[in-house]
Structure 1
Amino acid sequence: MSAKGRLDRAFSQALVLPFRRCSRYVLISDCHRGVGTSSDNFLKNQHLYYAAMEHYYRNGFTYIELGDGEELWENRKLRNITEIHEDVYCMFARFEEKGRLHLLYGNHNIVRRKNPAFLEAVILYAESAPEKSLYLTHGHQASFLNSTLWPLARFLVRYFWSPLENLGFLDPTSAAKNYEVKERCEESLRSWAETRQHILVTGHTHRPVLPEEPSFYYNTGSCVHPRCITCIEIQRGEMTLVKWIVEARADSVLYVAREVISGPVEILGPGSCCVLTGDPI
């Protein structure tokens, strides 16, 4: 099956959620939560992530994780990850109590697809303008190795590339670490979106994308950048690419700050909005 076929299949079974001007969603991908060792790439940004999550919880956003939340290629046991990052999963429980949590799987936590709570794709459906609906998935479907041959890719990462990375070598098959692989993957995703005339939002490549001009392809980036996490906020019918970073005040006190990278880009034009009777969705 081709990349286009894999993406078509994913969205044919997607969960459909409402997308209105009053909707509030935050899209985050590629946390790669590990077991707290030196190879746990999430560890250095965990405080940024938790501060961002508190902000989105207080402000009524629905959290959608676009895959690779857990690093289950380098690590065998999910229990070890949930114990180390217990605060994250407690936060998930708070979102879930409000009905504001949706988790997708990516290639690095594809084994989670056995859990009915984990999805391959979500469509944020704009009833007032269906052509403006947003199609959300991880993006690994663009790669034959990372989708169809994922057991082989996991074996190579777990027993070959992960040990070599500790010595300074980068995995040449990774869309996040190899420029040519990244370019091919993004071109495949962009081609599917343009061919199907769907607005596609993914993660996987770790490269944030939100052009100021109208586009069919967007990317949230990741939570494992060297000094920040990036995500896409959706509110007022607009998408905004933001990053969360550590800043210093004049008195040298450190604090977590939210900074707009790009946008907002209008998706839904002005019009009537639903009446909020509780937490926005």
Structure 2
Amino acid sequence: MILEKKLAKKRLTEAYNNAKIEYFDDNSKYIFFSDCHRGDSTPSDEFAKNQNIFLFALEFYFNNGYTYVEVGDGDELWEHSNFKHIRLAHDDVYSILKKFFNSDRLIMLYGNHNIQLKYKNFVEKNYYKFYDDYNEEEIELFPNLQVHESVVFKHKDTGQEILTVHGHQGDIMNDKIWFFTRLTVRYFWRFLHSVGFINPASPVKSSEKIHKIERIYSNWIKTNKIMIICGHTHRPHFPKVNEIPYFNDGSCVRASGIQGIEIVNGQIMLIEWKIRTSSNGSLHIKRKILRGPEPIGTFDLRTSSC
């Protein structure tokens, strides 16, 4: 615990110091999703069941002028060594992500399960373009894509800062020795995963590990007076007013649907998209606000008593 505290403090501070700066104001619109874990549509691909919900949500956000922020673990590159298979399995997803990219409204972070995106050569080889076997030509996907470990959203008027990271920083198994953990996932846990077993290195099913991560991150927030938005644990979290401003956007692989965090018109909220039934029995994909909205400034530790 002490070692992880020290490591997390160091890694979060490094992430903050090296972050891309994204300026925003009260007219800005962002949707934060993480932990899609897009796979190859085999039984281990947890994202496949929610793909249509995700597509519907992204169409809504694109048409309404939002910037899409993918907070790590978008692609499941630990279980699948070839990104081509993921892209082919979820071609419609990459088509809409390309629309965000072409409109300069895509911000992509890497997490532990797609940590290979920290290497420019890997991104250039796999994400800049792809070969269309049918038409026998290369097609641009995300040319010159920049993938970040961290982004600091900074309010143009108030100077309030929001550090956004995936949330694996300081998690020894998924940060410090990720290469070893990836090997165990790819060649062992991947197959058990498809029949319901969970890798013990993952925080997803361990409440003790989740709470430990939340405590460590909350201590960093309190010390540095900077709000955090992250993912990694798959546990959505939206603090009450006067609580430490640790926000978690949940995941896109829950059985109940997908969760995310919206920042719009100077307010922040935790939302969920899921399939619901109407009174006549028809099925609809609906958005629901789970917590909030609250003014962003409410969680500014420089001026509040959190």
Structure 1 length-normalised TM? 0.92
- Tell me if structure 2 keeps the 8 A contact 1:107–1:140: yes
Q: Which residue number corresponds to residue 241 of structure 1?
A: 270
Q: Which residue number corresponds to residue 23 of structure 1?
A: 28
**CA displacement 1:8-38 (0-9 Å, x = unmatched):** 1112121111121111011100000000011
Q: Which residue number corresponds to residue 145 of structure 1?
A: 173
Change (3 A) 1:254 1:168: closer
- Tell me if structure 2 keeps the 8 A contact 1:197–1:216: no
**CA displacement 1:31-62 (0-9 Å, x = unmatched):** 00000011100000001100100010011000
> What RMSD in Å do the two structures reach over aligned CA positions?
1.4
State which drifts further: 244-253 or 54-63: 244-253
What is the distance in 2 between the residues matched to 1:238 and 1:142?
Answer: 29
What is the distance in 1 between the residues matched to 2:38 and 2:69?
Answer: 16
Q: Which residue number corresponds to residue 275 of structure 1?
A: none
How far did residue 208 of structure 1 move? 0.4
Over the matched positions of the two proteins, sequence identity in percent amounts to: 38
How far did residue 158 of structure 1 move? 1.7
What is the distance in 1 between the residues matched to 2:221 and 2:183?
Answer: 31
**CA displacement 1:55-101 (0-9 Å, x = unmatched):** 10011000000000000111111111011111111111111111100
**CA displacement 1:159-189 (0-9 Å, x = unmatched):** 2322233444322221112221112122111
The answer to whether structure 1 residue 120 and structure 2 residue 149 are counterparts is yes
Q: Which residue number corresponds to residue 209 of structure 1?
A: 237
Q: Secondary structure at the match of 1:145?
A: helix
Out of 55, 60, 69, which is 2:65 matched to? 60
> Tell me, which stretches of 5 or more residues in structure 2 are unaligned?
1-5, 124-144, 299-306
- Tell me if structure 2 keeps the 8 A contact 1:19–1:125: yes
> Tell me, which stretches of 5 or more residues in structure 1 are unaligned?
270-281
- Tell me if structure 2 keeps the 8 A contact 1:186–1:205: no
Q: Which residue number corresponds to residue 295 of structure 2?
A: 266
Q: Which residue number corresponds to residue 93 of structure 1?
A: 98
- Tell me if structure 1 keeps the 8 A contact 2:44–2:191: no
After TM superposition, the structure 1 = structure 2 runs for residues 1-281 of structure 1, keeping only pairs within 5 Å, are 2-114=7-119, 115=123, 117-130=146-159, 132-214=160-242, 215-268=244-297
What is the distance in 1 between the residues matched to 2:118 and 2:197?
Answer: 30
The number of residue pairs the alignment matches comes to 268
What is the distance in 2 between the residues matched to 1:133 and 1:111?
Answer: 27
